[in-house]
Amino acid sequence: AAAAAAAGRCGRDPCGALCPLLTYLGVGYADYAVLAHVLPQPALRGSPWCPFHAAAFNFIVLLLLASHTRAVLADPGERPPATGRPHIPAEPPPPRAQGWEDWTVCDRCEAYRPPRAHHCRVCHRCVRRRDHHCPWINNCVGELNQKYFIQFLFYTGLASLYAMGLVLAAWLGPAGRSPAGMVTGGDGTNNRVQTAHCIVLLLESLLFGAFVAVVFYDQV
Using one digit for the tens of pLDDT, what is the confidence trace for 47-82?
Answer: 888 999 999 999 999 999 999 999 999 999 876 544
CATH code, domain carrying 62: 1.20.140
The answer to whether position 67 is within a domain reads: yes
Residue 208 covered by a domain: yes
More confident residue, 172 or 28: 28
Q: Is pLDDT of 85 > 60?
A: no
Q: Is residue 126 part of a domain?
A: no
CA-based torsion, 100, 106, 107, 109: positive or negative? negative
Of 40, 46, 48, 43, the closest CA to residue 173 belongs to: 43
Nearest to 146 by CA among 131, 164, 125, 161: 131
- pLDDT of 181 reads 46
130, part of any domain: no
Position 45, amino acid: R
> Which band of pLDDT confidence, cut at 50, 70 and 90, is reported for residue 198?
very high
37 Cβ neighbours under 8 A, 6+ residues apart: 193, 194, 197, 198, 201
* Residue predicted with more confidence, 12 or 154: 154
- Asked if 194 and 156 count as a contact pair (C-beta separation under 8 A), the reply is no
Residue 190: pLDDT band with limits 50, 70, 90? confident
- When divided into structural domains, the chain yields a total of 1
Which tops the pLDDT comparison, 108 or 22? 22
> In the 8-state DSSP scheme, what is residue 102?
G
Q: Is 126 a catalytic residue?
A: no
Predicted structure pTM score? 0.80
Residue 55 forms part of a structural domain? yes
Which candidate in 120, 123, 134, 198 is catalytic? 134
- Determine the pLDDT at residue 150: 96
* 167 inside domain: yes
99, part of any domain: no
Evaluate if residue 35 carries a pLDDT over 90.
yes
Percent of the chain topping pLDDT 70 = 76
Give residue 124's pLDDT band: very low, low, confident or very high (50, 70, 90). Answer: confident
Give yes or no for residue 29 having a pLDDT over 70: yes
Domain with 204 in it: 17-76+142-176+189-218
What b-and-e string marks burial along 106-123, b requiring 16 or more CB atoms within 10 Å of the CB?
beebbbbbbeebbbbebb
Evaluate if residue 86 carries a pLDDT over 60.
no
Cβ-Cβ contacts under 8 Å for 192 (sequence gap 6 or more):
none
Q: Is residue 82 included in any domain, yes or no?
A: no
